[in-house]
Amino acid sequence: MAEAIVVGVDGSESATRAVRWAAAEAAARTLPLHLVIGCDPTLGFYGGGLPAPQSLFDDLDKVAARQLAEAADTAREVDSELVVTTAKHTGSPVPLMIEESRTAEMIVLGSSGRGGFTGMLAGSTAVSVAAHAESPVVVVRTRDDESVPAEGPVVVGVDGSRTSERALAAAFDEASWRKAPLVAVHSWSDVDYVGVLPVQFALLEVEPAEEEQARALTESLAGWSDKYPDVTVERVVVKDRPRHQLLHWAEQAQLVVVGSRGRGGFRGLLLGSTSQALIHHAQCPVMVVRPERAE
């Protein structure tokens, strides 16, 4: 559904939290909320490839319809004026959500679903969709007490890459809508430069100075305060692994925004180590912004 916030539904508590979060986001932006559910047809076969009876498919369809109705009720509890639409699809949830991302404002998913193994920190659907979607993907993670934070800053990881620039744009937009301060985090580590600097520089332990790193962050932020004068920006420049800093800030943030991969990623890598670490461990919702298709 074009320009809607799309939420994946599966009846789990994690998905219900995602619906509540997305409903609040849609209400603030006066956007429609589109709830979708996908059923993998391979689940309709017994061992040995024997087809399941039609009655099983009918029961699954009823379950899906009930889960969508319950999700729609949950969304309207957040805002009774919210425009909510629903859709059932036959097929794996991952390609379904990727297809939805082609026209969606954003995709919102729970951090784990009914298909996840006990103890799994992030469901395979969330990781796969974040790696391939065209729109931003939000994985709704929680604090240790399973609450979804509604206060605190919006935090964005900045490394100067083109994907990071798109993440920065999304972060300013989110901070403005939420009337929240923005924390722009730029961090680096010796290890980050071993693979990109000539060997002789690595041996001499030469690395960009902190002043250079601060200048790089300033350049990345140039112009954004003019576009979003209502957003207060705090700049953080620190020598540390980016994932460590962003996980630290996530403990007090209401949203963390990152690019799907940064300067340290191998070309063609769909999801970098920093974004994966946040999807698995952050204590607040995580927005992953993918590069444009041509990049």
* 3-class secondary structure, 5: strand
Distance CA(287)–CA(244), nearest Å, equals 17
Is 0.75 topped by the overall pTM? yes
Residue 258 backbone phi and psi in degrees, to 5: -140, 155
Quote the pLDDT of residue 53.
Answer: 64
User: Is the pLDDT confidence value at 116 over 50?
Assistant: no
User: Is the pLDDT confidence value at 11 over 50?
Assistant: yes
pLDDT in tens, 187-218: 887 554 444 445 444 444 555 568 888 888 99
Quote the pLDDT of residue 63.
Answer: 86
Packing angle between helix 13-29 and helix 54-78, nearest 10 degrees? 50
Calculate what percentage of the chain has a pLDDT beyond 90.
58
Q: CB-based contacts of 57: which residues, under 8 Å, 6+ apart? A: 44
Winning range, highest mean pLDDT, from 188-197, 264-273, 284-293: 284-293
Please state, rounded to an integer, the average pLDDT across all residues of the chain: 83
CB 170 within 8 A of CB 289: yes
